[in-house]
Structure 1
Amino acid sequence: MSISFPDEPVPLEICDDRVVRVKGTRVTLDTIVVTFNQGKTALEIASQYPSLQLVDVYATIVFYLRHRPYVDAYLQERQEQAREIRELNEAKFADQGVRDRLLARRSPS
């Protein structure tokens, strides 16, 4: 009896916005890795995101565990991008004086 081991494709794709998602879903690699690192099982993750197939969750976790340094670097880069965007938005939409204006609206004139 002979057995062969076909190469199994990773169910991940890099989308136009340069975000890695599970193919055919909007669920990001970030989401699965963070949830897995919080202690959730593959079954719990698949249950939480109905668009995911359980086998794809397992394959994504295996990919993460086999390529942890690269995935961690990618996640770090995404966190840095998110921080930069947050800072830009905070600067653009500064909330200085908002509390005072809201309180002024409350008080009778």
Structure 2
Amino acid sequence: MTLVIVAEPAPLKISADSVVRVGKTRVTLDTVVSVFKQGATAEEIVYRYPSLKLADVYATIAFYLNHQQEVEAYLQQRQQQAQEVRKMNEARFDPQGLRDRLLARKAEQDVC
């Protein structure tokens, strides 16, 4: 019996919104790498995100370790995009006094 070694591509897919997802799930590369960097094992990651396959998590971690600079640049870009979206949303929807407005609206509804 001969062992056939075949290189398999990383189980990463780029979605229509340019987000890298793991396997056939909605779990992002960002999420897996973040939890891994916090010290979680592949088994713990699968436990937290049961839609993931253990082999896909190991392959994703291997991809991260083999392409750390590129993945870190991608994560940095995603973080900048998130900050820009947060700023735009805060500019459109003033967070100051939100709690007070919600409580006032609730009080109005309770009176009716």
Work out whether the TM-score is over 0.5: yes
Structure 1 portions without partners, runs of 5+: none
- Matched residue of 1:94: which SS? coil
Shift of 1:17: 0.4
1:20 alignment partner in structure 2 = 20
| Aligned residue in 1 for 2:7 | 7
Report the count of equivalent residues: 106
Query: Percent same amino acid at aligned positions?
Result: 61
Q: Which ranges of 4 or more aligned residues in structure 1 deviate by more than 4 Å?
A: 1-4, 97-106
TM-score (norm 2): 0.84
2:77 corresponds in structure 1 to: 77
- Aligned equivalents of 1:84, 1:75: Cα separation in 2: 14
| Structure 1 Cα separation of the partners of residues 12 and 83 of structure 2 | 24
Could you tell me which residue of structure 2 aligns to residue 55 of structure 1? 55
Where does structure 2 lack aligned partners over 5 or more consecutive residues?
108-112
CA RMSD of aligned residues (A): 2.1
TM norm structure 1:
0.86
> In 2, Cα distance between the equivalents of 1:101 and 1:59?
48
Aligned counterparts, 1:91-102, within 5 A: 91-98=91-98
- 1:3–1:16 Cα change, 3 Å: same
Matches of 1:14 and 1:56 in 2, distance apart? Answer: 15
- The structure-2 alpha-carbon separation of the partners of 1:8 and 1:86, relative to structure 1 and needing over 3 Å to count, comes to same
Task: Select between 88-97 and 29-38 the one with higher mean Cα deviation.
Answer: 88-97
Residue 78 of structure 1: SS of its match in structure 2? helix
SS in structure 2 of the partner of residue 25 of structure 1: coil
